[in-house]
Chain A
């Protein structure tokens, strides 16, 4: 799959002598085994198709994914980028990638080409709307969840829908599988929130704490360290000790566990959604959900809990 995706990008880069696109083509070998391209291949397999049948969809999703990341970095003011170009040209490259995400589907069978093109175009449009909502910021907890649902799931619903269609699934079965992409996207976004604040690097989320649910929890929940946490957040960027203490409070206050809980719920809903789609072999997609949820399972195991002994709802 990675070779196909890299080749599809490289052909277009070579046709136009486009060095920046060549850089992206060269990175296709590093496509994540937990990314949307892989998810599409697994959805195709679940529907009874050969992996190769999903390669155009995988290439299309990779191009869209790369475009989303380029724009996300621009919105976040990220100076490091995969391509060394001024911001405007990075936006231009993202635009080209979005176009290529549609163009690459020309290699899909004619019978499903139009639905695949509509799916990737919708994913790009919906994600763009989610990005704009995210940039405006979450004014409260409900707004945070609305933004998460708008921003992250479209790529995953598209991957499941496109993969299933590529594998020969009926449109209604592909739609049923696509619904699992909503909790799957939430699972991924929550993991991303945790990773952004629990890591050693100072992530921009510390400057916009309302947009990260772990930080929001520690700022809003009624816990003994709340006032201390409020005082620490503005110092995190310049004071490593404050950063370390703030991360400890995230764990002690329950913010960390709050994310873990919602990741468990999201993973369970994603599994149920996959099984509800009644595809010939749901195992490839279920395996991927398990892989994404594995850190949660491992965490609970380390505190002596078998996740299967827990209830899916807390209250």
Chain B
């Protein structure tokens, strides 16, 4: 799998040049903490929850 590093990713976000659609989307995500806070983490966590919590 292609994998961008932490430093590469941050540099893409902070870059001043023309950004591609991905970077624009991720920058917008960084400006929307309320949206991030309400994301459906519970659905992801089901994989890792103990049986009592639905795993």
User: A residues near B, CB below 8 A?
Assistant: 24, 27-28, 30-32, 34-35, 65-66, 69-70, 72-73, 81-82, 141, 145, 183, 186, 188, 191-192, 194-196, 198-199, 213, 216-217, 220-223, 247-248, 250-254, 256-258, 260-262, 265-266, 269, 291-292, 294-295, 298-300, 302-305, 309-315
Contact = CB atoms under 8 A, between A and B. Distances in A.
A207 to B, nearest CB: 17
B41 A295 contact: yes
Contact of B26 (A66, A250, A257): A257
Contacts of A69: 48-51, 55
Interface residues of B, number: 48
Contacts, number: 182
Contact of A299 (B23, B39, B43): B39
Interface in B3-37: 3-14, 20-33, 35-37
A82 B52 CA distance: 6
Contacts of B37: 198, 247, 251
A213, A247, A265, A310 interface centre (most CB from chain B within 10 Å) = A310
B1 A186 contact: yes
Interface of B: 1-14, 20-33, 35-37, 39-55
A227 to B, nearest CB: 15
A302 to B, nearest CB: 5
Given A183-B1, A314-B22, A195 B29 contact: no
Given A216-B6, A302-B35, A82 B50 contact: yes
A66 B55 CA distance: 8
Nearest to B51: A27
Contacts of B31: 252
Contacts of A27: 51-52
